[in-house]
Amino acid sequence: QVQLVESGGGLVQPGGSLRLSCAASGSIFSINAMGWYRQAPGKQRQLVARISSGGRTNYADSVKGRFTISRDNAKNTVYLQMNSLKPEDTAVYYCSANIRNLGLRWDDYWGQGTQVTVSS
């Protein structure tokens, strides 16, 4: 089995920063793209940032210049550094990864989600 475990969410004031982490573990052969999504109450889940296995990144327009996605392939971990946070960034953040398991099958896996609340 493959698991994604997120950490780093919490309550922060507007203008503050948070760093999210997501570690993949289990029966992993290789990992392709990894990404972060978020879902605010009453809204659809949307892509925040994505990083390929080679390090190429793309971001939602709403977070460009404020958020940075990175990954440590040796640790099977993806990070999301969030700066200049705004109340509209409040959401549950989910990590996702496209993983090839030991049975050589590709699947998309999701973490359990971590709450980020931006409020004064």
What is the rounded CA–CA span in Å between residue 101 and residue 45? 25
- pLDDT band of 105, cuts 50, 70, 90: confident
What is the rounded CA–CA span in Å between residue 26 and residue 21? 17
15-47 in b/e form (b: 16+ CB < 10 A) is eeebebbbbbeeebeebebbbbbbeeeeeeeee
Of 82, 63, 62, nearest to 19 by C-alpha is 82
Q: What's the average model confidence in pLDDT over 5-31?
A: 96
81, burial (CB in 10 Å: exposed 0-12, middle 13-18, buried 19+) = middle
Q: What is the pLDDT of residues 57-68, one digit of tens each?
A: 999 999 999 999
> Has residue 82 got a pLDDT over 90?
yes
- pLDDT band of 103, cuts 50, 70, 90: confident
What is the rounded CA–CA span in Å between residue 77 and residue 74? 8
3-class secondary structure, 87: helix
> Using the 8-state DSSP alphabet, how is residue 114 labeled?
E
- pLDDT band of 104, cuts 50, 70, 90: confident
> Has residue 111 got a pLDDT over 90?
yes
